[in-house]
Structure 1
Amino acid sequence: MLNENLVSIDKHIEAHVNVPGALMPLLHAIQDDIGYVPESAYSRIAKGLNLSVAEVHGVVSFYHHFRTHAPGKHILQLCRAESCQAMGSADLETYVKKTLGVDYHQTTADGAITLEPIYCLGNCACSPAVSMDDQVCGRVDVDRMNEMIAEARSA
């Protein structure tokens, strides 16, 4: 873990140490700042909040939102909620995984795209929905997905 990340993590811990129920807000702050919650920081977080390392690990591993490794340049999220599944997101998911050569929570070899599942983007009327770098797109088909991937790789 980079020294600058340690400084940033320590500042976030310090800012949250007296906040009731601080673990979730702290984890969000760390991920928002450096892009992920490094496993090597669990003991610092646990010590700062008077928790066990197992408690920190349990929360990070339970919530799909949290990453334990640095993400790629772009984050592609595929909605896995019922409406999107009913409108063909499973086929889109299969296509994207094959095209990118990754599974969920993995990053392409070129470091361009990290693939993540998400369980509702709030765009159910336009299923299947995906998000690229927090930009939600609806009615995504293979052609639109190819465009999005090409744009991300060229950016």
Structure 2
Amino acid sequence: MPGALLPLLHAIQDDIGYVPELAYPLIAKALSLSVAEVHGVVTFYHHFRTHQPGRHILQVCRAESCQAMGSDALEIHIKNKLGVEFHETTPDGTFTLEPIYCLGNCACSPSVMINEEVYGRVDNKKIDQLISDLKSTS
């Protein structure tokens, strides 16, 4: 079916948290696509993950409003605090750090999203507290 690939990839990721590369041949066969086409779509969109994420997904907004309000410095602080880069998971499996390109919370920049919850006007102190709170409940 034309157009079935994106909904299928979203369903897989929603169900297990990522789209495993081992599934590409099965997806390709089911949709009469090449493995390269499936791989191309998964790697083109930042939303899709190819590896198991941490228990908490921490996304830092990279849109213009958040950058203008200091998200670059916040991003550096978070990377140093967690010891990971974007698209990496902390060694303890608690956090996966990802960029996101607009959370629609521009009036409260800079913003982050942790799991499915958006936080605005985030500074180093606030993100440290959020991370600490999540570590204590994990």
Q: TM-score, normalised by structure 2?
A: 0.98
How far apart, in 2, do the equivalents of 1:97 and 1:131 lie? 15
Match of 2:56 among 70, 74, 89: 74
Residue 140 of structure 1: how far off its partner (Å): 0.1
Equivalence for 1:138:
120
Residue 151 of structure 1: how far off its partner (Å): 1.3
Identity of aligned residues (%): 69
Structure (1 or 2) with the larger CA radius of gyration: 1
Equivalence for 2:136:
154
Structure with greater contact order relative to length (CA < 8 Å, sep ≥ 6)? 2
Equivalence for 1:109:
91
Unmatched runs of 5 consecutive residues or more in structure 1: 1-18
Equivalence for 1:51:
33
Total equivalences in the alignment: 137
Q: Summarize deviations over 1:18-55 as a string: whole Å, max 9, x none.
A: x4310000000000000000011100000110000000
Q: Summarize deviations over 1:51-86 as a string: whole Å, max 9, x none.
A: 000000000000000000010000000000000000
SS of corresponding position for 2:118: strand
SS of corresponding position for 2:96: strand
How far apart, in 1, do the equivalents of 2:25 and 2:80 lie? 37
How far apart, in 1, do the equivalents of 2:108 and 2:33 lie? 42
Match of 1:35 among 5, 12, 17: 17
Root-mean-square deviation over aligned CA pairs: 0.7
How far apart, in 1, do the equivalents of 2:101 and 2:68 lie? 14
How far apart, in 1, do the equivalents of 2:114 and 2:28 lie? 32
Q: Which amino acid aligns with 1:127?
A: S
SS of corresponding position for 1:48: helix
Residue 87 (str. 1) matches residue 94 (str. 2): no
Q: TM-score, normalised by structure 1?
A: 0.87
Residue 154 of structure 1: how far off its partner (Å): 1.4
Residue 125 (str. 1) matches residue 89 (str. 2): no
